Amino acid sequence: MSTYTPHTPSEIRSMLDTVGVKSLEDLYSGFEDLWTKNLNLPPGKSQMEVIRFFTELASQNKLFGSIFRGAGAYCHYIPSVIKSLVSREEFVTAYTPYQAEMSQGILQSIFEFQSMIADLTGMQVSNASLYDGSTALADAILMLREKKKNKVLLSSALHPRSLEVIKTYLTPLGIQIELIALEEGKTSISDLTAKLTEDVFAVAIAQTNYLGIIENAADIGQKVKANKSGFVMSVEPFACSFLKTPAACGADVVTGEGQPLGMPLSFGGPYLGFIGTTEKLTRKIPGRIVGKTHDASGKDAYVLTLQAREQHIRREKASSSICSNQAHCALTAAIYMAYAGKEGMRQVAVQSLSKAHYLAQEITRLPGFELQYKSEFFNEFVIKSQIPADIIINACAQENILAGLKLGEYQTLWCATEVNTREDIQKLIDVLKQIKA
């Protein structure tokens, strides 16, 4: 057992003397009656036993040899340099950079992160990060809230868990939510037009959407703007580096899940919510923002800024209660984006796109498998099969392959990225063939 405390018994005695009490228990005098008699926890363990315990737990999870599942969590190659740099203790063990003079490294890294997110989304400003893609989307909608309007329209092809999070966030505020139907897996422009009434303050879509499909974001943006509503886009970062920018589609707020940018799958977290928006909406952004300024001698300096929006200053009038965010994940993403660089981002996007299309082509060459939707996709797509999804998933699992995600009894959502090789895909196809036989 270790408590990670350095005190020797004689030091404890001497410190108690200075304080003027006889024992550690005396520090709690006057409320001894509240002490719990019997804390039902096992005794402590040595470090060796602890790591053994976790190694054993980790071994009870299955690590797949190849993964063809995305649906909000993506398997991309993570360069060694990223893990090495983000493990530096100064980054890991620091608190939020309140004291600018001794935190310039962290503040500058956030400033650079904000700059890359703004560039990626085509927007003017960004922040230090939000909890994840779903909470970022809910926050974005709330930024656009207007006094006289009380409704939001959400694409039915947002991630289902994001839809749930948004609902959780908006319900207590009495905001009405309506879903926009899909056509061929895309947000229906005719349904959108029909539902765009005067009381709609925001419309949110995902690009690419949950079904992997590329939305007609610019057309949607145009309709939304014509109705004087706010337009929110939740983007997949690689798709965003490759497709028409949200800014060009008329987005007011852009959010996304940053996990693909250098974060491992990690059973769903910690991940990274990012946000980009217009200069006009800057003061409505929730959470930490880093700005560039200078010191008295004119040297560049970075600080947490626009704090008048935040909980520690504004209390109940703050734009959000967010305090700790996902700063270390933002650092990871910043290093990843700088590592990939201008061309590398595009190369990962192109390879993911190409592998997904090859995968789709190979699967649909098999009898009894077809694409559910005709619309263009990026690196995910839905397959409709004559074989039940459960059977496909089980057969693949036996060959150490994580198949697409079951969406319906005969529907699966597949994903490919730069890490899936042609050989992996061939192996998968062989498994699928076997089931047929």
Partner 1 sequence: MKTIFEKSVPGRQALSLPECDVPLYQLSPELLREKPLRFPEVAEIDLVRHYTALSKRAYGVDDGFYPLGSCTMKYNPKLNEEAANLPGFTGIHPLQEQKTLQGALKLMYTLGAKLAEITGMDQITLQPAAGAHGEYTALQLIRAYHLDHGNPQRNKIIVPDSAHGTNPASAAMNDYITVNIPSGPDGCVDLEALKAAVGEDTAALMLTNPNTVGIFDKNIRQIAQIVHDAGGLLYYDGANLNPIMGLIRPGDMGYDVVHLNLHKTFSTPHGGGGPGSGPVGCKAALAPYLPGPIVTEKDGVYSLTPGGDKSIGTVKTFYGNFLVMIKALAYIETLGAEGIRLAAQLAALNANYMMARLKGHFPAYSSDICMHEFVISCEKLKEEVGITALDFAKALIDRGIHPPTIYFPLIVHEALMFEPTETESKQTLDQACDTILELLREAKADPAAFKQHPVKMPIGRPDEVTAARKPILVYTPASS
Site for partner 1 in 278-337 (CB under 8 A): 282, 288-297, 299-303, 305-308, 310-318, 320-329, 331, 335, 337
Q: Which range in 10-18, 181-189, 224-232, 380-388 contacts partner 1 by CB under 8 A? A: 10-18
Decide whether 105 or 388 has the Cβ nearer to partner 1: 105
| 29 lies in the site for partner 1, by CB under 8 A | yes
Site size for partner 1 (CB under 8 A): 198
Residue 125's closest CA among 335, 291, 322, 259?
291
Out of 141, 251, 348, 389, name the contact with partner 1 by CB under 8 A. Answer: 348
Give dist(CA 297, CA 300) in Å, integer.
9
Which is it for the CA torsion 42, 48, 54, 57, positive or negative?
A: negative
Pick the binder of partner 1 from 194, 264, 408, 433 (CB under 8 A): 264
Considering only 9, 34, 147, 367, the residue that binds partner 1 (CB under 8 A) is 34
CB of 86 to partner 1, least distance (A): 8
Spatial contact of 357 and 426, defined as CB atoms under 8 Å apart: no
Rounded Cα distance between 386 and 406, Å, is 13
- Contact call for residues 44 and 1 (beta carbons, < 8 A): yes
> Under the criterion CB under 8 A, does residue 344 sit at the interface with partner 1?
yes
Q: Which of 201, 210, 238, 271 binds partner 1 (CB under 8 A)?
A: 271
Count of C-beta atoms within a 10 Å radius of residue 182: 19
Site for partner 1 contains 11 (CB under 8 A)? yes
Q: What residues numbered 110-149 form the site for partner 1, per CB under 8 A?
A: 111-112, 114-116, 118-120, 122, 124-126, 128-129, 131-135
| Residue 242 touching partner 1 (CB under 8 A) | yes
The rounded distance, in Å, linking the Cα atoms of 236 and 75 is 13
Q: Which stretch binds partner 1 (CB under 8 A): 97-105, 185-193, 220-228, 428-436?
A: 97-105
Stretch (H or E) spanning 434:
helix 422-436
Element containing residue 407 per DSSP (H, E): strand 405-408
Nearer to partner 1, 97 or 230 (CB): 97
How are beta strands 66-67 and 401-402 bridged, if at all? parallel
b/e string for 60-95 if b means 16 or more Cβ within 10 A?
eeeeeebbbbbbbbbbbebeeebeeebeeeebeeee
**Residue 388 sits in the site that holds partner 1 (CB under 8 A):** no
For 410, the 3-state DSSP assignment is: coil
Closest distance to partner 1 from the beta carbon of 194 (Å) = 26
Q: Does 108 bind partner 1 (CB under 8 A)?
A: yes
Single residue of 179, 397, 429, 435 touching partner 1 by CB under 8 A: 397
